[in-house]
Structure 1
Amino acid sequence: MGSTAKAIMTGFICRLCSEQKKVVIHLYTSRAKKLKLLKKIKLLPISVDKYDNLPKTICEQCVSKLEAQYDLLQKIRRSNSVHRSHRMHHSNGRCPAECPLHGEDESTESEMEVQGTSS
């Protein structure tokens, strides 16, 4: 398939997994902007600079994994916000209508805690 240096120049090396791939997405294209890849990559413990000499492409498998990670992090953030708001509304021990979890059955959570501690 050619040298690694040539593959990097032609965009066949994935920045995330370092594997040579035939199909990749360049980080600075309209498709990458539409997928918000640079924003999602910022959640990873790497830095990407437009002018560094590292690959600027990501393979489709890594894009899929990055999307799943981003979705999970967003879900965790929303859930954390709901739980914080839920606790904020409970000054008197009752669940008011404006609470985001109003009507949710909290007994299941309490039962699970009791079962977990009694085992």
Structure 2
Amino acid sequence: MGSYGQAVIPGFICRLCSKQKKIVIHLYTAKAKKLDLLNKIRLLPISLDKYDNLPKTVCESCIEKLNAQYQLFMRIRKSENIYMAHRRYHTNGNCPYECPLNGADLGE
């Protein structure tokens, strides 16, 4: 019988960090769906295929990092939408009342 260090258990390897972990979430389960893992991972520059031979699990540490990255992405997307709306409201250089940035504190 081999040692634990030599064992390779594909179900416990994280798809993102490639580390062997005791606690992982399978990407195609109800819990992963509730956490929206597939959509968050699709923002990364990797390809996901349900039928490839790569791990289908993600560790808790990577999920935390993925959530932080997703929050940053969503904040950037929201800011970009606000700036685009801001540009549409300006024709004479003044910031009208209807502008989403009128009186906004952008230092948050």
Please report the TM-score for the alignment, with normalisation by the length of structure 1. Answer: 0.81
Alpha-carbon distance in 2 for matches of 1:92, 1:40: 40
How far has the Cα of 1:84 moved from its partner? 1.3
Q: What is the RMSD of the two structures over their aligned residues, measured on CA atoms?
A: 1.7
How far has the Cα of 1:104 moved from its partner? 3.2
Give the 3-state SS of the residue equivalent to 1:73 in structure 2: helix
* Corresponding residue for residue 73 of structure 1: 73
Give the 3-state SS of the residue equivalent to 1:78 in structure 2: helix
How far has the Cα of 1:105 moved from its partner? 6.5
* Corresponding residue for residue 60 of structure 1: 60
Letter in 1 for 2:7: S
Alpha-carbon distance in 2 for matches of 1:56, 1:105: 43
For structure 1, the residue ranges without an aligned partner over 5 or more in a row are: 109-119
Q: Which runs of 4+ in 1 moved over 3 A?
A: none
Give the 3-state SS of the residue equivalent to 2:75 in structure 1: helix
Percent of pairs identical after alignment?
62
Structure 2 vs 1, CA of residues 91 and 25 (structure 1 numbering), >3 Å: closer, same or farther?
same
Alpha-carbon distance in 1 for matches of 2:77, 2:17: 26
Give the 3-state SS of the residue equivalent to 1:77 in structure 2: helix
Matched, 1:3 2:7: yes
Q: Tell me the matched-pair count.
A: 103
Alpha-carbon distance in 2 for matches of 1:70, 1:23: 21
For structure 2, the residue ranges without an aligned partner over 5 or more in a row are: none
More helix by share: 1
Alpha-carbon distance in 2 for matches of 1:54, 1:3: 17
Which has the greater radius of gyration?
1
